[in-house]
Structure 1
Amino acid sequence: MAPNSSKTSKLALIPLPKGTVLLPGVLLRLPVANRSDLASLLSSLLNQSAGLKNDGTPITFGCVPLGSPLLSNDGQQLLEDGTVDAEKRGEYDSLDAGEARKEDLFRFGTLGKVTGVQRRAFAEPLLLIQGMERFTVDRIVQEEPFFEAEVTFHDDIESSEQDSEINELFQQLRQLSRELLTLLRLSSLLPNASSRLSPLVARRFELYISRTDPSQAGKLVNFMADISDSSFEEKLMILASPDLKSRLEKAVEVLGRQVQGIKSNIKITSFTTTTSFPPTSGLDISQMDPRELLARRAMSSLAGLTPPGASSGQNEDEKEPDEVDELQQKLQEAELSPEARKVADKELRRLRKMNPANAEYGVCRTYLENLAEIPWTKVTEDQLGAETLKQARKQLDDDHYGLERIKKRLLEYLAVLRLKQSINQGVEKQIAELSQTLDTMTEDNKEKETLPESDRLAAEAKLQLLKNRQMGDKSPILLLAGPPGTGKTSLARSIATSLGRKFHRISLGGVRDEAEIRGHRRTYVAAMPGLIVSGLKKVGVANPVFLLDEIDKIGGANFQGDPSAAMLEVLDPEQNHSFMDHYINVPIDLSKVLFIATANSLETIPAPLLDRMETITLSGYTTVEKRHIAKRHLIPKQIRANGLADGQVNLSDDVIDKTITSYTRESGVRNLEREISSICRYKAVQYADATDTGALASYDPIVAVDNLEDILGIERFDEEIAEKHGRPGVVTGLVAYSTGGQGSILFIEVADMPGNGRVQLTGKLGDVLKESVEVALTWVKAHSFELGLTHDPNEDIMKSRSLHVHCPSGAIPKDGPSAGLAHTLALISLFTGKAVPPQIAMTGEISLRGRVMPVGGIKEKLIGALRAGVKTVLLPDHNRKEVKDVPQEVKDGLEIIHVRHIWEAIRHVWPDAHFPGEQHANIFESRL
């Protein structure tokens, strides 16, 4: 049953598709595809019906249209000039009913009753909804998973026969309805009419109009407003009209305007005797049946093709002639480039000569529409004032913690833009003044013919020099490379916000077809532009920020082309000013687009493509950085996402640090966010239980460290993973990347046994790591006498023994030139019986002369060493510059020692030990 109109009731609401209005007494077909809110509502209502043992109660809910940018929220204020801000119009055009917010809903709606489901082959199902009564939305009380609001219902009060004004308006509406029915019948006389009015339907239409009386005026208003040629805003105003009289006046105005337009055209026909038709039609007005002539005029008026007062010599039989004119107007407003203008004019001429029934007509029209939608010259103005750099810095700092290098690069770009803008403004002013002077000189020369030609040529040369001084806007092409979860994608969005530009994301992961980048050629069926041009059409400006996400996962050469090679022209600052899309086939300027690409690994990116981008590496976050990110972004986000309010969950720094170190081990913060979400859900259950039982005062929002095991389970990782005690032959090395995409420590174990000099390597070592072992063993054998391992310089220490070198975690592949120093010290430790202190870790490669060579991944290795509990790290002396980029907390937590030679490393590892050849280390490096 419908709720009582005399009081406020709570009602579930469903936003109607854009441009759709449901009026009382009207049947609406509502698409159900991609409507999660509708599915949730129907599921809830069906469950309630099942709980009531299916008593036959109809399924009802409120149907609320989306608001219009031309109307106020109450539907009464109409913009007089009909113009809307472009940004507001763009937001409205991209609005989808399934994603509507409460601000997008109209204030009035209609109670709808589900009468059935319409299914057709190869088409989405439609829900049949009958309008019942109108209501006013007082307050939205729920938004997810569907809208729910407090509403006030309004019954249509039947008018009395004594109400003369309403009776008069009703008679006018009924007369206009009959006239419209007559015109619809006339339109059916055309042999090629797109839609015909069945005699049976026309008869039922006529009976319905004739049988209505003033007491049913509201029903007739709703019916005629639904079937007439009324705009979306006019239907909204009828829905929002407070009384019957105002609705009648609006309906009479709409039908009167439509019928009067048709009558005006018919009147012109009666006075015109020289109306011409296309030569191909073979018709003459004197030979035409009067009824057919009247039907042609009526059909033209209904379609809006011959407005009142138009020339009677216009081509009446051409299908949609105004569409071509409208398309031409759009192309003129698009300000095409000279090449594009030439192609568009040619295609327009072809389109005008083409039969609309021809399949090529739609192809040509679609191509021209795409040309008109590309932003050739429209840009977002960069308002680079005195506070721009300060505001951009604040925006980046608010959105991301750390990442100083990328922030510095963006501020540099903003500073360069600001300087270029100031220079160009001065040059443009000089160009305008010189152009005006040149025009004056030309006019004076025409009148007096006394100015020499050399003066004019000199002025033109100076003008050209000034134009050459204008500085172009070549945006940089940045590549953010780093492990997953480090904020690469969100950083690109923050960059667009700080620049004040529009943002568009293009996912390149899994792209295998070159046509997805460059577009399909127009000779193919269902051809369309590529991802780049489609992105420009979507943002509507020529200088947006494009995020090329996961560029390292783009496909290589295959039978569909090479997508990575197609990106070469897009990402080349020297070429992308004339990018050629196969579908558009006209050069497009991409030089103003700020391209930001993201990648997890640089190894899979082709070298020519990598060379075109400016690589900025994002390393993993430290524990302190993760703590700041969690407190500033992750915890407030998850508290809101789990239905809690600020202050209802309290996480101390100790709890956050324990979660970071014991339950996550990653470079980014995605797993950390999942664990924080688990904690918030745990507290949400406690809060809900306390609310239900009325013991809200007993709820404790504080999460203690001791509670983490109950919430998250046992600890997954040990905070201190370095060895507690050392033993000969075991050394702690460092690797840049582990399975989590971050630095970590690596144990190197060496054991000897009786044998014949054989060396066995295990632990899934790569070729480079095996070479490190061989170089280390050669250096130790060559310096065995100086190390005190033998008493004879010519004695082979491996003559009667065999070695086994092993790196634990054998299932993980390990390779790279970084463990030579660790292998050498492990062999010396084994042969001398001196244990390497377990709190010392090292990285670096060695040469046969004993020099410690530089390696990569210093920042990741040091972060991993600190996380593993290492206290001292030995680094190559040539890696001093990389240590500058290491976070200060890491440098404060580690003692970093730089070494040039293996003997320096030996002195630092065993400062109290004495080796016989140590004093000669500075005199010679190798006996080889």
Structure 2
Amino acid sequence: MTANTNASDSTLYTLPIIPLVNTVLLPHIVTKLTITRSEGDRLLGQATPQVLCVPLQPNVKRTRKLIDTNSVQATVTTIAVDLSQLFDFGCVAEIIQVDKSLPDQYTLRVKGICRAKIHDICTADGGAFFHALSEYSLEDEENYFANEALVQQEKSFRTLCQTYLSKMRAIGISPSVLNQFAKKLQSNPVPHVAPLLLCISDSPLCEKLRALKNSDSNQRIKDIHHVIERYLQTLNTHASPTYSNNMLYDHIRRKFYILLQMYTIDDISVESGHHDNNAEKMYPFKIMEEDDEDISSLITKLNNANLPDDAVKTIKSDLNRLRKMPVSAADSIVLRNYLEYIGDLPWFSEKSTPQSCLLNIASVKAQLDADHFGMDKVKRRVLEYLSVLKMKDNATPPILCFVGPPGVGKTTLGKSIATAIKRKFHRISLGGVRDEAEIRGHRRTYVGALPGLLIQGIRHCGVQNPVFLLDEIDKLVINSTQGDPAAALLEALDPAQNSAFTDHFINLPYDLSQVLFIATANSLDTIPRPLLDRLEVIQLDGYTFNEKLHIAQKHLIPKQIEAHGLGFLNLDIPEKVILYLAENYTRESGVRGLERLIASICRYKCREFADLTESRQKDIPNKAVQTDDLEKILGPGINENDVLGQDDIPGIVTGLAYSSSGNGSIMTIEANYMPGTGRLKLTGSLGDVIKESAHIALSWVKANSFALKLADSTKEDIFKDIDIHIHLPSGAIPKDGPSAGITMVTCLISLLSGVSVSRSTAMTGEVTLRGQVRPVGGIKEKVISAHRAGVKKVLLPAANRRDIINDIPSEICKEMEFIYCKSMWDVVDSAFEEYNIQLEPRFISSL
């Protein structure tokens, strides 16, 4: 750029000219221009990356087409024109990118800087190229922003922008396109937004020339305001009840997509001589003139998706194939659906829930405490994760797995976590899923192909960091003929691999590393070990009576009162009634059965109120529910005297069991003998392990019968003339495991000695052939179930003391007695308090 000084001491600059026909470049606007290769080489050889874009006069008759505003790119070619054909003003533009991929032309991406008044024009190379001696006309925008009198004008123009967006939305412009356009209008000042709106509105050329000529920001914005108002009035005049059938609106929609791709506001900072290669990445897909409205909207969506570089090439190829296909072709529908999915997915981290909401750990803790009672271990783990996230924003989220019996709040806890950390929540039900394609998606060669459940969830949430609840992960169908869905989850649930998860449908790597996965299961037994290795297991145990009381008062009763419309009645269900329900009508680990009972009480009150209303009595039902009313409402209790009400009979002992669904329960073991030859008979749907425990129990009692005072000598066989029959009631329920070992030994001793064991005493533990008591699992569930059944004393293996200390609530520990046993002799001493066995020295030494 060359500077000259005239007599009046005003500085003039010499810049190469690019003539424009039927279009005007305004300051702050970015557009693309196509020039011949020879002219491009001359422009790029200049010492400055700046040019002067000068429009031709409106009445110029061109001999060749210079620019076509209906095309995606502005086309400029060299033409011999008279100097009088050039407008008196132009726009100084900076070349921010050059594309030399085409053989005969260059594509320039230029950004308008300021307007310039042309004082003189010279030619070069036989009139093929022009240079202008021009004076810059800088805008006094700082005074515009500082002038308080213009605040009202700015508000008025912002209101006009909203009206413009509303009209475009009514015409049928894609919401995704308008949302991006609205963000651009809101994030830029009015002096920058006004020229963009003037260009996008396809305003007359004379109005654009007026805006280029006027250096007064205030007056120019007023003029543009009037132009946009007239444009909107024109659209309203041609309004149609059905926009899709209006040919005018079809033309406007198509023109809007093309102009939006031609013109934008860009704040790319480019140093002198440097061309930003990232500018092209912002809009990698081009709208062609032959594209219909659907394809134009699809291309705009793909441009806004900000696809990764490795995906752009593949999508360009698919987009070109879609253009060549007939609309009615089956492959066209599949391909269009595929591109829609690609455009809808959040591909970059800006499409994530902001992490600033995670900074207040105290508020998250309060939210978790308000939604769930107890569950201290789970809450502590969640707060630890958020604390790490507070220190490091890009921390890898854990893969949590909540394991526990039904009804303890695993699913609702996942929702509560998402609410507490203010993230999108999506639940994926895995129960009964047998097809690998439901996780990884179908290949697009299949008719009706769709992505897998994970990608569908990401698209539904619209962010990269939602909370995914993989519900009932233990119910996946294993070894299916349609693939292994559990194996398909291995990549998604591995923090070292899920940053490049590949779905068969989209066939592109997708980053799942920001997703917080939470899985739920009733049991770990059916989860494959490789999948379980990727999960951080958190055990959720059954509720105690006190926890059920709190949950019922705070959540269940208000919920059911509102559901049944009894808010006016102020229904009162006292604590003793809730405890009576929990003890006598339901002894589940969760609270679903208790909620159904409360709903039954509410329905009874509704019926009672309806009967009084129909009989025209002014009385209202009794607000309070008493314990005596429960039998009339619900019938007799089904769990009365489960343990405490039974008589103590020799040969009957209470044991503790743990079911595969995560529930604990008491298990009565019965034994009897009859004349025979020493055979052992076992009934009650028993598995191989529990049968082995029965044989071990019989062998231990037979070997120690003299020490137990069951035989007169060490060589006497007390079973030679009798048969033993051991039965476990509830024969329809399969039973297995080693934890009934000490219970079977105690049952046999009680049977043969005639000394009964108190039914309020329960026990669990594995027994060895030498009488050692080994630890077992499920202690918390077993103890809680024993407490619900009224057990007062529990015999446990000594190695399970840590489970009582760490897991059992303090209120249960105060109401129950725990005895820890290392050998069967400790069990005998504790179970038969009135049956003192004096151990002989020879037996003591053999232990």
Q: Flag whether TM exceeds 0.5 (same fold).
A: yes
Query: 165, 184, 201: which is aligned to 1:82?
Result: 165
Aligned match of 2:339: 368
Residue 320 of structure 1: how far off its partner (Å) = 4.2
Q: Deviations over 1:665-690 (max 9, x none)?
A: 32211121111111111112333444
Q: One-letter code of the match for 2:310?
A: E
Given the alignment, which residue of 338, 347, 352 partners 1:379?
352
Distance 1:576 1:646, change over 3 A: farther
Contact 1:873 1:897 in 2 (8 A): yes
CA deviation map 1:691-738 (0-9, x unaligned) = 555644554211111111111122222154346432322221111239
Give distance in 1, aligned partners of 2:468 and 2:664: 31
In the alignment, which of 485, 488, 491 is matched to residue 413 of structure 2? 491
Larger relative contact order (CA 8 Å, sep ≥ 6)? 2
Per the alignment, do residues 919 and 746 of structure 1 end up closer, same or farther by CA in structure 2, a change over 3 Å counting? Answer: farther
| Cα distance in 1 for residues equivalent to 2:539 and 2:293 | 55
- Correspondence 1:655 to 2:577: yes
Aligned partner of 1:807 in structure 2 is 728
Q: Which residue of 1 aligns with 2:298?
A: 327
Q: Report the AA paired with residue 544 of structure 1.
A: P
Give the letter for the 1:80 counterpart.
T
1:571 matched to 2:552? The reply is no
Amino acid at match of 1:769: I
Q: In the aligned structure 1, how far is the partner of 2:692 from the partner of 2:424?
A: 52
Instruction: Report the counterpart of residue 412 of structure 1 in structure 2.
Output: 384
- Cα deviation, residue 755, structure 1: 2.3
Q: Distance in 2 between matches of 1:618 and 1:822?
A: 27
Matches of 1:319 and 1:360, distance apart in 2: 20
- Over 3 Å counting, the alpha-carbon distance change for 1:878 and 1:339 in structure 2 is same
SS at match of 2:669: strand
Query: Which residue of the other structure, out of 771, 782, 787, is the alignment partner of 1:861?
Result: 782
Shift of 1:908: 1.7
Cα distance in 1 for partners of 2:779, 2:287 equals: 78
Helix, strand or coil: the match of 2:163?
coil
After superposition, the Cα gap between the structure-2 partners of 1:886 and 1:691, relative to the gap in structure 1 and judged at 3 Å, is: same
Q: Cα deviations across residues 484-514 of structure 1 (Å, max 9, x unaligned)?
A: 2111111110010011100011111222222
- Matching of residue 840 in structure 1 with residue 811 in structure 2: no
Structure 1 letter corresponding to 2:694? V
Deviation at 1:381, TM superposition (A): 1.0
In 2, the alpha carbon distance for the partners of 1:728 and 1:299 equals 94
> Partner of 1:80: helix, strand, or coil?
helix
Whether 1:630 aligns to 2:552 is yes
- Tell me the secondary structure at the aligned position of residue 82 of structure 1: helix
**1:818-840 Cα distance to aligned partner (Å, 9 max, x none):** 11111112222223232222221
Which whole-Å CA distance do the structure 1 matches of 2:352 and 2:428 have between them?
Answer: 20
CA contact (8 A) 1:639 1:646 kept: no
Q: TM-score, normalised by structure 2?
A: 0.66
1:785 partnered with 2:757: no
1:340-371 deviation digits (Å, cap 9, x = unpaired): 22322332344445555655444333222211
SS at match of 1:407: helix
CA distance in 1: counterparts of 2:258 and 2:584, whole angstroms: 80
Distance 1:419 1:653 in 2: 44
Question: Whole-Å Cα distance in 2 between the matches of residues 516 and 857 of structure 1?
Answer: 34
Distance across 1 between alignment mates of 2:325 and 2:735:
67
Q: Is the 8 A contact 2:396 2:495 kept in 1?
A: yes
User: Whole-Å Cα distance in 2 between the matches of residues 604 and 906 of structure 1?
Assistant: 37
- For residues 407-427 of structure 1, the C-alpha deviation after alignment (integer angstroms, 9 at most, x for no partner) is 111111111111113xxxxxx
CA contact (8 A) 2:322 2:332 kept: yes
2:237 equivalent in structure 1: 256
Secondary structure in 2 matching 1:757: coil
Check if 1:731 corresponds to 2:668: no
Structure 1 residues 809 and 82: alpha-carbon distance in aligned structure 2, compared to 1, 3 A threshold: same
Which of 668, 673, 698 in structure 2 is aligned with 1:747? Answer: 668
Give the structure 2 partner of residue 555 of structure 1: 477
Q: Measure, in 2, the Cα distance between the counterparts of 1:505 and 1:921.
A: 61
Return the alpha-carbon distance in structure 2 between the equivalents of residues 323 and 838 of structure 1: 76
| C-alpha distance in 2 between matches for 1:250 and 1:670 | 62
- Structure-1 residue corresponding to 2:316: 345
Cα pair distance change 1:800/1:368, threshold 3 Å: same
Is the contact between residue 636 and residue 646 of structure 1 (CA under 8 Å) also seen in structure 2?
A: no
- Structure 1 residues 639, 688: CA separation in 2 closer, same or farther (over 3 Å shift)? same
Q: 1:440-839 to 2 correspondence within 5 Å?
A: 472-645=394-567, 648-691=570-613, 695-722=617-644, 724-737=646-659, 742-839=663-760
Aligned partner of 1:604: which letter?
T
Change (3 A) 1:254 1:301: closer
Q: Distance in 2 between matches of 1:587 and 1:818?
A: 48
The separation in 2 between residues aligned to 1:309 and 1:538, in whole angstroms, is: 26
Residues 1:330 and 1:761: Cα distance change in structure 2 (over 3 Å): same
> How many positions carry a matched residue from both structures?
600
Alpha-carbon distance between aligned partners in 2 of 1:655 and 1:78, rounded to the nearest angstrom? 63
- With normalisation by structure 1, the TM-score equals 0.60
CA deviation vs aligned residue, 1:724-771 (integer Å, no higher than 9, x gap): 432322221111239x86322222222223322112222222211111
Distance 1:646 1:519 in 2: 51
SS in structure 1 at match of 2:355: coil
Over 3 Å counting, the alpha-carbon distance change for 1:412 and 1:251 in structure 2 is closer
CA contact (8 A) 2:408 2:591 kept: yes
By how many angstroms is 1:851 displaced?
0.8
Cα offset, 1:580, TM superposition: 0.5
Aligned equivalents of 2:557, 2:161: Cα separation in 1: 45
The corresponding residue for 1:155 is none
1:389 deviates by: 1.5
Cα deviation for residue 848 of structure 1 reads: 1.5
Amino acid at match of 2:676: G
Over 3 Å counting, the alpha-carbon distance change for 1:509 and 1:385 in structure 2 is closer
Q: Distance in 2 between matches of 1:578 and 1:897?
A: 53
> Which stretch of the first structure deviates more once superposed, 482-491 or 344-353?
344-353
Q: Given that residues 587 and 788 in structure 2 are in contact (C-alpha distance below 8 angstroms), is that contact kept between their aligned partners in structure 1?
A: no
- CA–CA separation in structure 2 for the residues paired with 1:77 and 1:668: 57
- Structure 1 residues 96-120: Cα deviation after superposition (integer angstroms, max 9, x where no partner): xxxxxxxxxxxxxxxxxxxxxxxxx
Indicate if the aligned counterparts of 1:843 and 1:875 stay in contact, CA closer than 8 A: yes
Q: Distance in 2 between matches of 1:316 and 1:609?
A: 46
Q: Given that residues 319 and 356 in structure 1 are in contact (C-alpha distance below 8 angstroms), is that contact kept between their aligned partners in structure 2?
A: no
Q: Matches of 1:359 and 1:809 in 2, distance apart?
A: 58
1:500 and 1:921, CA in 2 relative to 1: closer, same or farther beyond 3 A? farther
1:98-247 to 2 correspondences below 5 Å: none
Identify which range, 874-883 or 330-339, moves more after superposition.
Answer: 330-339
Deviation at 1:401, TM superposition (A): 1.3
Unaligned regions of 5+ residues in structure 2, if any?
1-158, 170-174, 177-229, 263-285
